[in-house]
C-alpha cells in the first residue's frame, strides 16, 4: 500500500500545496503552536486572470500561476504554508510579526514577459488574523475556511 496523502495534498500545476494540503498543514501548525504565537492567513486573488489566459494562452497563464506561487514561497515574510486553493487563488500562512505591507504591495504587482508579450497586472490580498493564545484555534480556522471556501471541509 502507498500513502497517497502527499499526492492528494499537492497541486500538480505549481508543485505546492492544494486546498487539502493547506487545511491539513494550517491546522497542524496552529494547533501545535504556543499560546504566544499569532498567525495570519493571506488570501491572494490574481485579478482578471481570464485576460491573462487570452493574452498569453493557457500555457502562459499556467506559467503566471507557477511564477506567482514561487514569489509567495520566496517572500521575505517566510510563509509556513503556501497553497493554490483553486484557479488563481492562493493562501499563505505567516507569523503576524512577519506581516510586511510593503512586501504585500510588491507581491501583488505582477509584471512579466511571456512569449514576447508583456503583462502588467495585480493580485488582491485579504488578511485573516489567527490568535492562537485565545485557545480558539480550531474555531478560528474552521470559521475562516467555512466562510471563505465553503462548507465542504
For the chain, the average pLDDT equals 84
Q: How confident is the model at residue 2 (pLDDT cuts 50, 70, 90)?
A: low
Q: What is the pLDDT of residue 28?
A: 87
Q: What is the pLDDT of residue 140?
A: 47
**Greater model confidence, 77 or 52:** 77
C-alpha cell at position 76: 521575505
Mean pLDDT of 34-63: 89
Q: How confident is the model at residue 3 (pLDDT cuts 50, 70, 90)?
A: low
Least confident of 54-58, 87-91, 106-110, 123-127: 54-58
Q: What is the pLDDT of residue 68?
A: 96
- Over the stretch 122-134, which tens digit does the pLDDT of each residue have? 999 999 888 655 5
- Over the stretch 92-119, which tens digit does the pLDDT of each residue have? 999 999 999 999 999 999 988 777 878 8
pTM: 0.82
Amino acid at each position: 500500500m502507498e500513502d497517497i496523502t502527499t499526492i492528494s495534498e499537492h497541486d500538480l500545476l505549481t508543485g505546492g500545496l492544494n486546498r487539502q494540503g493547506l487545511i491539513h498543514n494550517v491546522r497542524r501548525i496552529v494547533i501545535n503552536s504556543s499560546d504566544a504565537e499569532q498567525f495570519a492567513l493571506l488570501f491572494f486573488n490574481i485579478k482578471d486572470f481570464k485576460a491573462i489566459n487570452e493574452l498569453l494562452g493557457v500555457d502562459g497563464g499556467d506559467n503566471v500561476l507557477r511564477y506567482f506561487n514561487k514569489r509567495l514561497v520566496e517572500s521575505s515574510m517566510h510563509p509556513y504554508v503556501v497553497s493554490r486553493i483553486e484557479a488563481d487563488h492562493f493562501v499563505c500562512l505567516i507569523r503576524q510579526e512577519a506581516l510586511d505591507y510593503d512586501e504585500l504591495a510588491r507581491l501583488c504587482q505582477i509584471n512579466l514577459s511571456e512569449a514576447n508579450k508583456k503583462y502588467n497586472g495585480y493580485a488582491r490580498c485579504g488578511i485573516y488574523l489567527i490568535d492562537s493564545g485565545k485557545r480558539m484555534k480550531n474555531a478560528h480556522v474552521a470559521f475562516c475556511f467555512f466562510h471563505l471556501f465553503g462548507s465542504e471541509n
